[in-house]
Amino acid sequence: MLNGMKKQLMKEMQGRVKGETEGLKDEGRDTYDLASDERDREINFILNDREREKLLAIDEALQRIKEKSYGICESCEGEIQLGRLKVLPFTRLCVKCQEENEKESKRQKTLEDERGYRKLVVNDFEEEGF
């Protein structure tokens, strides 16, 4: 299953790269066509970046299979439910730990946003001479 996903991702990425290079051959195009091509290249870059991350996660899952630690949560060391592994065969965390991880990430982002806002307010006061 993981090897099949890996092959499919690589095929999709190669197809996008091939499509980009073929699109560069067309000449005599107007500004709108060029802008559209640039937007498409940016989208493909983002997609390929996400797929590279997914490929890395798949490789890590294959390594865990070799090490006989596949299906074990890296956080709590509990068993990851089979249903979750079927949906996300490259997952590293059980549902509970994943939820906790996401909550913590959200808290960190909120704190960073608040710090940034406070910094802006302080800078505004300093610029106005307060």
What is the domain-level CATH number for residue 63? Answer: 1.20.120.910
Three-state DSSP at 6 gives: helix
15 — phi, psi (to 5°)? -65, -40
The rounded distance, in Å, linking the Cα atoms of 121 and 130 is: 11
pTM for the full predicted model: 0.61
Residues 128 and 83 in one domain: no
Q: Please indicate, yes or no, whether residues 46 and 66 belong to a single structural domain of this protein.
A: yes
Predicted confidence pLDDT, tens digits, the chain (130 residues): 888 888 888 888 777 766 665 555 556 678 887 788 788 778 877 888 888 899 999 999 999 999 999 999 999 999 999 999 999 999 999 999 999 999 999 999 998 888 877 776 666 656 665 5
How many domains is the chain partitioned into structurally?
2
Helix (H, G, I), strand (E, B) or coil at 41: helix
Q: Name which of 98, 97, 71, 96 is nearest 85 in CA terms.
A: 71
Q: Are residues 74 and 101 in the same domain?
A: no
d(CA 130, CA 125): 5
